[in-house]
């Protein structure tokens, strides 16, 4: 398998682009429900600042401006939601675009009450998702020129919206939840080892293949070289309609390079994809990419991201 074909296998396994598209009704429902829940929690018994009410029934023009450079995410989702609330929104940008300080990200027209009530929720969403996209882009740029993809994890606050923001920054989503790919991590393996079946791992993997042939992948975590060699032995005679992935958890890049070469020597490289994980930072990610892994999962893309800085300003009415 050449690198182009391997890249296609990686993308098919680790990027849920089709499922995170606003043309898809299920994603539309996710976006609408999320925005609605956030705004309803904010409003609760009503926006008590809008007094006297008649002053806020007038038409208003506003704009959202950028106060720092960022990669945009959440823009299409915001426009989609606002269209359900009698607001007219337009933008010269799209998800994944880069913006600089002072750019007008969005122009908003509608009733003053509607704009001011939705303001904070919309800004919170745009800022967090754009922060994720911006951070992801910095990791993706750092591994440029290698054959490695940056992927997210399930360490998310906002689920699919966070995953979509990773895509806007050039990363891949990894699995969306517990339903689309199987991951046998440390605790799963401990349960299997403690069972009465000495061949529990092989049994688990073969039953997964039979029961869920539509999975994106099956991934197995390894913690040391002995576990890696044992997993190679498990997987060499098992086939599936999707890839197997071995996750190197808290390995050093030099160890990973050696173990991937072992897989090549045993003619198993084309049978398996390789992932590195475990406190990988912007400073260290390049060395992991150069070890030959196919994907690097980074929890920091979503679990502790710094939001972008945007602001909504009312335009002066003549």
136 and 164 in contact (C-beta within 8 Å)?
A: no
152 and 305 in contact (C-beta within 8 Å)?
A: no
Helix, strand, or coil here: 232? helix
9 and 243 in contact (C-beta within 8 Å)?
A: yes
C-alpha–C-alpha distance, residues 139 and 117, integer Å = 35
Task: Outline where 44-146 has alpha helix (H).
Answer: 75-82, 112-142
Whole-model pTM?
A: 0.94
C-alpha–C-alpha distance, residues 306 and 242, integer Å = 35
**The token pair that represents 272 in the structure block:** 């398996």
**The token pair that represents 305 in the structure block:** 């991201």
Q: What is the pLDDT of residue 316?
A: 62
Please tell me the least confidently modeled range out of 83-92, 117-126, 245-254: 83-92
Q: What is the pLDDT of residue 86?
A: 82
Bond preceding residue 306 cis, omega within 30 of 0: no
Helix, strand, or coil here: 12? helix
Q: What percent of the chain has pLDDT above 70?
A: 99
118 and 78 in contact (C-beta within 8 Å)?
A: no
C-alpha–C-alpha distance, residues 115 and 317, integer Å = 15
C-alpha–C-alpha distance, residues 243 and 77, integer Å = 32
Q: Is the pLDDT of residue 262 over 80?
A: yes
Residue 317 confidence class, pLDDT cut points 50, 70, 90: low
Please state, rounded to an integer, the average pLDDT across all residues of the chain. 94
**The token pair that represents 264 in the structure block:** 């090549």
Q: What is the pLDDT of residue 237?
A: 85
126 and 97 in contact (C-beta within 8 Å)?
A: no
As a whole number, mean pLDDT of residues 296-301 equals: 96
Cα four-point dihedral sign 142, 155, 212, 29: negative
**The token pair that represents 247 in the structure block:** 């996750």
C-alpha–C-alpha distance, residues 98 and 2, integer Å = 33
pLDDT digits (tens, 9 = 90+) for 108-160: 999 999 999 999 999 999 999 999 999 999 999 999 999 999 999 999 999 99
Residue 1 confidence class, pLDDT cut points 50, 70, 90: confident
Q: What is the pLDDT of residue 234?
A: 85
* Distance, C-alpha 44 to centroid of its chain: 30
**The token pair that represents 266 in the structure block:** 């045993």
**The token pair that represents 237 in the structure block:** 């005679």
Q: What is the pLDDT of residue 25?
A: 96
Helix, strand, or coil here: 289? helix
C-alpha–C-alpha distance, residues 231 and 237, integer Å = 11
Domains of the chain, start order: 17-134+306-314 (3.90.1170.20), 138-301 (3.20.20.70)
Strand partners, 221: 247
pLDDT digits (tens, 9 = 90+) for 43-79: 888 888 889 988 888 899 999 999 999 999 999 999 9
Helix then strand count (H, E) for the chain reads 10, 12
């Amino acid at each position: 398998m050449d690198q182009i074909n391997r890249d296609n296998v990686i993308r098919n396994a680790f990027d849920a682009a089709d499922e995170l598209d606003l043309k898809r009704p299920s994603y539309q429902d996710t976006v609408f429900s999320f925005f609605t829940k956030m705004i309803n929690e904010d409003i609760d018994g009503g926006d008590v600042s809008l007094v006297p009410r008649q002053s806020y029934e007038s038409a208003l023009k506003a704009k959202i401006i950028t106060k720092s450079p960022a990669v945009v995410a959440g823009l299409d989702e915001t426009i989609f939601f606002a269209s359900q609330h009698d607001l007219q929104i337009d933008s010269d940008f799209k998800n994944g675009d880069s913006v600089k300080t002072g750019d007008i990200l969005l122009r908003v027209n509608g009733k003053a009450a509607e704009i001011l009530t939705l303001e904070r929720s919309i800004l919170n969403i745009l800022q967090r998702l754009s922060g994720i996209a911006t951070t992801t882009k910095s990791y993706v740029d750092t591994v440029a020129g290698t054959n490695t993809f940056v992927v997210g994890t399930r360490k998310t606050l906002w689920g699919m919206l966070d995953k979509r923001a990773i895509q806007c920054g050039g990363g891949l989503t990894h699995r969306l939840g517990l339903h689309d790919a199987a991951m046998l991590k440390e605790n799963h393996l401990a349960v299997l080892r403690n069972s009465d079946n000495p061949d529990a791992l092989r049994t688990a993997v073969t039953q997964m293949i039979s029961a869920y042939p539509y999975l994106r992948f099956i991934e197995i975590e390894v913690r040391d070289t002995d576990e890696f060699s044992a997993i190679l032995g498990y997987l060499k005679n098992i086939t599936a309609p999707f890839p197997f992935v071995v996750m190197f958890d808290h390995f050093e890049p030099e160890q990973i390079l050696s173990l991937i070469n072992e897989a090549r020597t045993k003619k198993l490289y084309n049978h398996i994809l390789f992932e590195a994980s475990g406190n990988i930072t912007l400073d260290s990610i390049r060395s992991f990419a150069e070890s030959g892994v196919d994907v690097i999962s980074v929890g920091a893309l979503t679990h502790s991201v710094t939001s972008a800085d945007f602001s909504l300003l009312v335009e002066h009415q003549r």
